């Protein structure tokens, strides 16, 4: 199935980069001089122990909070001072640990409205229904991509938590986001639902036209999907490279969860 495409930029060109990105809350420096580079169409995961600064880094990238120092560049533009909606318009999409959908609308309506919003078209009661048929067709395609076919007419409030995650991803895709920031997409869902979420993310990756930045604690999932992995510890970027190199990195092994946790063990399925 083919959904909306986003150009033909060569993989390897930088889409997102930070320079000396720092934020402090009182006396605590949550993100400390992080220089992060993400290539177009790359799947990069960010890992680290609890409190390492991963979600805070995402908040800086998406504009939820402003840095104390440093810069964020997206698609060559300095977006450091941009609010979240301006970054979204540029093609940066963000999912949260808590799902963010319209609970009283149907699954299809949630996605159709996102498609329509991206097109800049407001609903007009006096317009022909044919004008909006394209938006619905695209929404149906996206629901197939995230494995929600057959659930189009279900009210979003009645979805299982994992299904709401899928719906949120479809809405992100509807906004034609070139960069997807996925913040622990498996957080809070049942063990039985995890494989479906994994399959959805794999499908999005296989489409090949988006860049994905993932925060996730499930190391088997990270290793299965990632082109590169960045490791945060105490707010600092201590390693960034290919999965095999990260797994063998002694600094990562020593620092991850204060040295009490073997990253290699995590890869075998212990979380």
pLDDT in tens, 9-52: 345 699 999 999 999 998 899 999 999 999 999 999 999 988 89
pLDDT in tens, 187-226: 888 899 999 999 999 999 999 889 999 999 888 899 999 9
Residue 5, in any domain of the structure: no
Residue 2, in any domain of the structure: no
**What number of other Cβ atoms are within 10 A of residue 115's Cβ?**
25
Strands 14-25 and 28-34: antiparallel
Q: Residue 180's domain is classified under what CATH number?
A: 3.40.50.300
Buried b (16+ CB within 10 A) or exposed e, 43-54: bbbbbbbeebbb
Strands 211-215 and 43-47: parallel
Residue 8, in any domain of the structure: no
DSSP track, the chain: --------PPBTBEEEEEEEEEEEETTEEEEEEE--EEETT-EEEEE--TTSSHHHHHHHHHTSS--SEEEEEETTEE-TT--HHHHHHHTEEEE-SS----TTSBHHHHHHHHHHHHHT----TTS-THHHHHHHHHHHHHHHHTT-TT-TTSBGGGS-HHHHHHHHHHHHHHTT-SEEEEE-TTTT--GGGHHHHHHHHHHHHHH-S-EEEEE-S-HHHHHHH-SEEEEEETTEEEEEE-HHHHHH-HHHHHHGGGGTS-HHHHHTT--
What's the mean per-residue pLDDT of the chain? 85
Half-sphere exposure of 179 (CA within 13 A, CB side): 24
Residue 1, in any domain of the structure: no
pLDDT in tens, 125-141: 444 445 678 889 999 99
**Structure token pair of residue 3:** 């959904």
**Structure token pair of residue 30:** 């949550």
Please count the residues of the chain: 271
Q: How many domains does one find in the chain?
A: 1
pTM of model > 0.85: no
Q: By C-alpha distance, which of 2, 32, 10, 7 is closest to 20?
A: 32
Residue 4, in any domain of the structure: no
pLDDT in tens, 141-162: 999 999 999 999 999 999 998 9
- Residue in the block written with tokens 């609903």: 123
267, burial (CB in 10 Å: exposed 0-12, middle 13-18, buried 19+)? middle
The boundaries of the domain holding residue 171 are: 14-267
Residue 9, in any domain of the structure: no
What average pLDDT does range 221-233 have in this prediction? 94
Longest dimension (CA), the chain: 65
């Amino acid at each position: 199935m083919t959904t909306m495409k986003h150009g033909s930029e060569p993989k390897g060109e930088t889409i997102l980069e930070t320079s000396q990105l720092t934020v402090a809350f009182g006396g605590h420096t949550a993100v400390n001089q992080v220089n992060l580079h993400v290539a177009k169409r790359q799947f990069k995961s960010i890992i680290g122990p609890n409190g390492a600064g991963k979600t805070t880094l995402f908040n800086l990238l998406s504009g939820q909070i402003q840095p104390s120092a440093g810069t964020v560049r997206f698609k060559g533009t300095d977006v450091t001072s941009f609010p979240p909606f301006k970054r979204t318009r540029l093609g940066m999409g963000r999912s949260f640990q808590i799902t963010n959908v319209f609970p009283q609308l149907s699954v299809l309506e949630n996605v159709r409205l996102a498609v329509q919003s991206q097109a800049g078209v407001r609903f007009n009661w006096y317009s022909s229904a044919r004008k909006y048929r394209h938006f619905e067709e695209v929404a149906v395609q996206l629901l197939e991509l995230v494995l929600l076919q057959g659930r189009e007419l279900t009210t979003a409030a009645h979805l299982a938590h994992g299904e709401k995650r899928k719906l949120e991803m479809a809405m992100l895709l509807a906004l034609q986001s070139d960069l997807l920031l996925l913040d622990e997409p498996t957080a809070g869902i049942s063990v039985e639902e995890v494989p479906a979420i994994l399959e959805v993310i794999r499908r999005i990756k296989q489409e090949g036209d988006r860049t994905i930045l993932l925060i996730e604690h499930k190391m088997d999932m990270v290793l299965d999907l990632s082109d590169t992995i960045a490791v945060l510890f105490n707010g600092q970027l201590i390693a960034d490279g290919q999965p095999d190199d990260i797994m063998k990195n002694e600094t990562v092994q020593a620092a991850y969860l204060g040295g009490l946790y073997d990253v290699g063990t995590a890869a075998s399925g212990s979380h």
